[in-house]
A and B are shown apart, each in its own frame.
Chain A
């Protein structure tokens, strides 16, 4: 079985995010990078399917800068077989749709039975790439999956929906996206890290893929600005000698300052 995992390298969730001078992007010089956690579930699930099916090839596909190769290496260290990184400066300004188009072009050049992606990348939070890749490839799409099973050329998935789960099924090839609860990703083992160094990782540009950078990477959507949430004002502690005093004070403050009663 050929499984493809779409993966994005993102700033670690502990990173203190600072908005860059242009007001539209995030400063990256002091950021530590990780695999987007939902994509890590995707890698883990792909490996479990491969193990269960007793065979197959897991290929990691990513679009990103030179550093993104580290994220792919981590996935290879977990046990994936090979990686493809589209590293092209033109992709820097790409929107989600553009990334999806590039990813689907890569995927089209490979044999595949199943594609797994994170439900969203935790940096841009677009919730878009998985669905768009499925659309470009004209294959079934299932989102927010917490359990799957493959049998007789079909995949059955449990999806989370508000208040419960839905069980859906589709023929392969198909694409599904991950939801928290699907699995607990494995650690990279030391022998795994050593082996990963020797696994194939192809670096490609847009031209290598037969895409015209001027068209493929021109965004339809642009980020205009990034903002932090408004700082919450400090709370007020109600003082008073007795409980009754405090209650009286609270009523007074609610009436006079907050003007809610």
Chain B
């Protein structure tokens, strides 16, 4: 299709309306107001509204928010509850052992439990009030470079109204080239443009990024529930069902109105191709201790999203000519504390301060923008990230080596036994399947109310994609799926995808296998793009506005 793309100029463009991008946009407007600068700032977001694609726990360390909006409480910041106390459990198959001491990183007393969807909607309102153009329903589809210098000059948004076969429909609306002096990428874990950009400009981190997939629900409980009498309202769980060799674990946080957030994270460094993170999540929910807490409840929302947990050594170069990377998309995450919201926000704010300087100097080259990583290093954020630098690598070790590494890191400010403990990319860790794939959970365990299967979960995520559009999940060579990948790993995509996007069908007559995609189920978690052992799957943004419709994500 040969189309004209209109172009539109702004001073600064933020790609992604998550906490990182929104905090950055607000900070930039604050700096502009202080210095009497008149700026055109835009935030594009692929979700139909801000927050629609935000999925987190979440316990927020308020340190960055206090710096950004000191009077956040009186500005109506939507806080669910405040953490009273932490409870930390080790689960065996049928018991829960309370760990007497919570690791200091997980001491969350006084922190805020938030719904990231609600929090982002609130940030967006504040940003809009300051004059930022908040543009939900527009996905960045392509990075625009200066053909001579390779400097980033903006982003092209996705076309709308294209049919499945790629031809324009009656209401076709071509994407727009948004040109900016500085483009800030805040796409969250495994950003599709960030991935393209870091590869093209060769700015990946020292080690490959590593991820965990989190599945998380909001459950409505009866009036009288665990948290009405409990000490802690911030529960973390290790052990069952993943055991100790695969990093991951569960959480339950108290929200308001008798609701809780319950989630389970599975590290994508797992090696057993039969593993299904969704089933791990269900097993966690069905653990006797957990089922007692959630008894009588009803799932009112479900979602899935990956987290980039590798931290410091996996961070790409954060500044290039005309562009900056912020938040989880740049692996900016405090791994030991399981927190990426305050780190994302702070990175966005530091990026904004650098952009403000660049605007004053009229220079948007890497030389000026490079102040951002410098500032980051010197801030509390840099110290925090640096301390957690070897954490994920230690977690990736098997017991007991893992424990020894962690203990050493705990005692010597993150250095551990060996600095720069190496990491392996998640797409490389699968081992060939041994024979068939073991039986999955009995479908009778799904009651449709408190324990729901993948498809009901998709329904509860309010995910919607216009059917008549080209698949946004691009499978390079479908032949690999039904031959090499099936033979070696028994099609792990059919298990690691929490939305049932991937199915392998066997033709009854020819008994030929075929990959069937259901891209309309996609939760935008990006697990497939990360874990596919053949690098055969590329996740791209579908039509802007499509995807999950989280309200309490």
**Residue B101 interfacial (CB < 8 Å):** no
The number of chain B residues with a CB under 8 A from chain A is 25
Residues A190 and B8 in contact, CB atoms below 8 Å apart: yes
When C-beta atoms are compared, the residue in chain B nearest to A31 turns out to be B551
**Residue B6 interfacial (CB < 8 Å):** yes
Residues A186 and B135 in contact, CB atoms below 8 Å apart: no
When C-beta atoms are compared, the residue in chain A nearest to B549 turns out to be A14
Q: A184's contact among B6, B157, B170, by CB below 8 Å, is which?
A: B170
Stretch from B171-179, B203-211, B347-355, B477-485 that touches the partner = B171-179
Residues A190 and B551 in contact, CB atoms below 8 Å apart: no
Residues B176 and A191 in contact, CB atoms below 8 Å apart: yes
CB distance from A181 to the nearest CB of B (A): 13
Residues on A with beta carbons closer than 8 Å to the beta carbon of B48: 32
Counting chain A residues whose Cβ lies within 8 A of the other chain, the interface size class is 10 to 19
Taking CB atoms and an 8 Å cut-off, the chain B residues in 100-141 that contact chain A are 133, 135, 137-138
Tell me the dominant secondary structure on chain A's binding face: loop
Residues A185 and B171 in contact, CB atoms below 8 Å apart: yes
Q: A12's contact among B135, B173, B549, by CB below 8 Å, is which?
A: B549
Residues A30 and B552 in contact, CB atoms below 8 Å apart: yes
Residues on A with beta carbons closer than 8 Å to the beta carbon of B176: 189-191
Residues on B with beta carbons closer than 8 Å to the beta carbon of A193: 133, 135
Q: B173's contact among A30, A31, A189, A194, by CB below 8 Å, is which?
A: A189
**Residue B397 interfacial (CB < 8 Å):** no
When C-beta atoms are compared, the residue in chain A nearest to B461 turns out to be A14
Taking CB atoms and an 8 Å cut-off, the chain A residues in 96-143 that contact chain B are none
**Residue A188 interfacial (CB < 8 Å):** yes
Residues A190 and B171 in contact, CB atoms below 8 Å apart: no
Residues A194 and B462 in contact, CB atoms below 8 Å apart: no
Residues A32 and B52 in contact, CB atoms below 8 Å apart: yes
**Residue B234 interfacial (CB < 8 Å):** no
A191, B7: Cα distance in complex, Å: 9
When C-beta atoms are compared, the residue in chain A nearest to B300 turns out to be A16
- From known contacts A189-B176, A190-B176, infer whether A184 and B551 are also in contact, taking CB-CB under 8 Å: no
Residues A190 and B300 in contact, CB atoms below 8 Å apart: no
Residues on A with beta carbons closer than 8 Å to the beta carbon of B173: 186-187, 189
Residues B135 and A30 in contact, CB atoms below 8 Å apart: no
When C-beta atoms are compared, the residue in chain A nearest to B172 turns out to be A187
Residues A194 and B464 in contact, CB atoms below 8 Å apart: no
Residues on B with beta carbons closer than 8 Å to the beta carbon of A194: 8, 133
**Residue B470 interfacial (CB < 8 Å):** no
Residues A32 and B549 in contact, CB atoms below 8 Å apart: yes
- From known contacts A30-B552, A188-B137, A194-B133, infer whether A14 and B464 are also in contact, taking CB-CB under 8 Å: yes
- Type the 1/0 row for B458-477, where 1 means its CB is closer than 8 Å to any CB of A: 00101010000000000000
Residues B171 and A186 in contact, CB atoms below 8 Å apart: yes
When C-beta atoms are compared, the residue in chain A nearest to B118 turns out to be A30
**Residue B432 interfacial (CB < 8 Å):** no
Residues on B with beta carbons closer than 8 Å to the beta carbon of A191: 6, 8, 176
Most-contacted residue by chain A among B133, B169, B551 (CB, 10 A) = B551
- From known contacts A187-B171, A194-B133, infer whether A32 and B49 are also in contact, taking CB-CB under 8 Å: yes
A31, B52: Cα distance in complex, Å: 11
Residues on B with beta carbons closer than 8 Å to the beta carbon of A189: 6, 173, 176
CB distance from B73 to the nearest CB of A (A): 19
A187, B169: Cα distance in complex, Å: 12
**Residue A197 interfacial (CB < 8 Å):** yes
Residues B462 and A14 in contact, CB atoms below 8 Å apart: yes
Residues on B with beta carbons closer than 8 Å to the beta carbon of A12: 549
Residues A32 and B551 in contact, CB atoms below 8 Å apart: yes
Taking CB atoms and an 8 Å cut-off, the chain B residues in 496-553 that contact chain A are 549, 551-552
Residues B462 and A190 in contact, CB atoms below 8 Å apart: no
A197, B464: Cα distance in complex, Å: 27
A30, B464: Cα distance in complex, Å: 18
Residues B52 and A190 in contact, CB atoms below 8 Å apart: no
Residues B133 and A197 in contact, CB atoms below 8 Å apart: yes
Q: A190's contact among B178, B460, B464, by CB below 8 Å, is which?
A: B178
Taking CB atoms and an 8 Å cut-off, the chain A residues in 23-42 that contact chain B are 30-32
Taking CB atoms and an 8 Å cut-off, the chain A residues in 181-221 that contact chain B are 184-191, 193-194, 197
Residues on B with beta carbons closer than 8 Å to the beta carbon of A190: 6, 8, 135, 138, 157, 176, 178
**Residue B161 interfacial (CB < 8 Å):** yes
When C-beta atoms are compared, the residue in chain B nearest to A192 turns out to be B173
**Residue B160 interfacial (CB < 8 Å):** yes
CB distance from A85 to the nearest CB of B (A): 18
- From known contacts A14-B549, A32-B549, infer whether A187 and B462 are also in contact, taking CB-CB under 8 Å: no
Top 10 A-B pairs, shortest CB-CB distance:
A187-B173, A190-B176, A30-B551, A187-B160, A14-B462, A186-B171, A184-B171, A189-B173, A184-B170, A14-B549
Residues of A at the B interface (CB closer than 8 Å) are 12, 14-16, 30-32, 184-191, 193-194, 197
Q: With A31-B551, A189-B6 given, name 18 new contacts (CB 8 A).
A: A14-B464, A16-B460, A16-B462, A30-B551, A32-B549, A32-B551, A184-B169, A185-B171, A187-B160, A187-B161, A187-B173, A189-B176, A190-B157, A190-B176, A190-B178, A191-B8, A193-B133, A194-B133
